[in-house]
Homo-oligomer: A and B are copies of this chain.
Amino acid sequence: MVALSVSLKKSVTLFHALSDETRLALLEQLIEGEQCVCELTDAMKATQSRLSFHLKVLKDAGFIRDRREGRWMYYSIDPDAVEELETVVNTLKLVAKSAVSANRCC
């Protein structure tokens, strides 16, 4: 069987991190550049603990990095995870193209 380039579990983690509107909005917001939590809560009109939760999911998946500076925590997009995601999707794409021949069964 052809396999996805990255392990299933890792792929699930990547996709799960992106399967939430708040988290995608966070990434969109971070396109503007590195920002601290206070700016993010401001921009997104979300409570601090809610964002903290979602930031953790994105960070655990590798999509963002954090950096402390004094009392502030700065978050930014980490291109590596996006790269990894791209790899998975590219495999999926190749696969989709080749998966046209029908097998009868039953």
Contact = CB atoms under 8 A, between A and B. Distances in A.
Nearest to A93: B82
Contacts of A9: 21
Interface in A58-106: 72, 74, 76-79, 82-83, 85-86, 89-90, 92-93, 95-103, 105-106
Query: Chain A contact residues (Cβ within 8 angstroms of B): what range?
Result: 35 or more
Interface of A: 1-4, 8-9, 11-12, 15-16, 18-21, 24-25, 27-36, 38-39, 72, 74, 76-79, 82-83, 85-86, 89-90, 92-93, 95-103, 105-106
B15 A28 contact: no
A93 B89 CA distance: 12
